[in-house]
Structure 1
Amino acid sequence: MIAVPLAAAGCEGKVSVTEPGSSPSAGSGKPASGGHKPASGDQARARKDLSGLRIASEGDGGGYERGKFGTRWKDTDHNGCDQRNDVLDRDLTKVEKKGDCVVMAGRLDDPYSGKKITFAKKDASEVQIDHVYPLALAWRMGASRWSEDRRETFANDHGNLLAVWGVPNRQKSDSGPGEWKPQKPFQCAYAIKYVAVAKKYSLPTTRADHDALQTFLTRC
């Protein structure tokens, strides 16, 4: 990270700029592209893991509330920054921050649509943090029986979070891959992330979601 003083409208103190290719936080390893290209071997691992996921029907969703997944954007990894700012710092390029945590501006190559977004904190809803495996869907697929601590961990897990453009995020809502899909160039990476989350939390998939994920993995 290169720290330089910048004139930032509406904020005080030093603003830092994360140049593409630098490492904004420990372990992020963010490349200039924003960091969504699957690593070697990820496709084969995802195919194997997908075959081991249980297939089940969705529950009716009764009783779901966002608050049942705990504090929104809690600092669950105890690095001093909340999860929203961690994910913005990881997924955006040309990041400008106030202090060590608060992302004030940056550029997003939206993985869902391919659109290039200029992010500014004053218009924060333009870039949103999406749950790849949606919370409400997880609730319908079994998370309703979890402890609140487990649901909170799931909701704040970096592996299940992506910075995305607000428009496709609203279109996706709580749909699984059988009902909604991102642009073709991202379908492989999306499937790999979805399967990894489902395996980690022992969440099943519907038959439609399972079939869609198989198709997405052929895009790799």
Structure 2
Amino acid sequence: MSTTYTLTITMDDTTVNDLLTSGYYLYAYKAVQAGNPNGGAPLVWFQTQTFSETTVITWTESYEAYTSTTTTLTDGTVINASASYAINLGQELQVNSTAGTGTVVNTSNSSVISVLNQTSTQFTCGLSQSVQGSSGSQLCALPLYGNNLDTITPVEQVMVVFMTEDVNTGSVVYQLSGPSLLVDMTGMTEATISYDINTNWSGNTEGWCTQYAAGTEIAPILVQPS
């Protein structure tokens, strides 16, 4: 049975009302480790304007490996999956057609999810993960060159941010216009953080939260070398 994780965000009335009046969205991004992170991009994993004094984001260890024929990872590009397959750690998607379709097989490496391109066609690949009960939302994008292998390990690190830009889930984002917080939930399934529109994010003092200023480049933070 897959583990369920819960991140709770608390705010006071003033902050909630100011965010809603100003047209802010709450975004979440999910980190991964990649065997070859060069050229990799974080994608908008979750977006909502439904938030209040207490807002809860939940997700499970339910993954899909996807391929996409969109190969230009420019800021704002929406990566639509051409093909997607349920997958677990220790499994590999073997892509065997120019449509990006393939077969999932077991491997001897139980610590990673692999995508092997058995064609000479370039794709984009990555992982999707269930969030807020959805079947899966893309969280990263990696170049998948012809006859090459990408390895990806999901990690329990979530970045949250409030921004006024309306950015679709699955969109490439390299830089955030608002202050963000990276929450490392490795070894725990529940965490609580808080947000104030003027003083921004606050969490623990034990090292599982890291604040980043507006304008921070997030690709090196969210697409990590394995």
Q: Of the two structures, which has the highest relative contact order with CA contacts closer than 8 Å and spacing of 6 or more?
A: 2
User: Hey, which of these two has a bigger chunk of strand by percent?
Assistant: 2
Would the TM-score normalized by the shorter structure come out above 0.5? Answer: no
TM-score (norm 2): 0.25
TM-score (norm 1): 0.25
